[in-house]
A = this chain, B = another copy of it.
Amino acid sequence: MFLLRHGPLDAEALRRAVASPEHGAVLVFHGDARASTAGRRVTGLWYEAFEPMALAGLEELAVAVRARHGVGAIACAPRLGAVPVGETAMVLAVGAPHREAALAATADYIQRLKQDVPIWKREHFEDGTRWVGSATDPQARAAARTA
Complex CA–CA separation, A20 to B36 (angstroms):
12
Complex CA–CA separation, A106 to B30 (angstroms):
14
Evaluate contact between B19 and A34: CB separation under 8 angstroms.
Answer: no
Complex CA–CA separation, A25 to B85 (angstroms):
13
Evaluate contact between B15 and A35: CB separation under 8 angstroms.
Answer: no
Evaluate contact between B107 and A29: CB separation under 8 angstroms.
Answer: no
**Residues of B with C-beta under 8 A to A29:** 25-28, 99, 102
A126 to chain B, nearest CB (A): 15
**Residues of B with C-beta under 8 A to A12:** 12
The interface of chain A, by Cβ under 8 A from chain B, is 11-12, 15, 19-36, 85-86, 88, 97, 99-100, 102-103, 106-107, 110
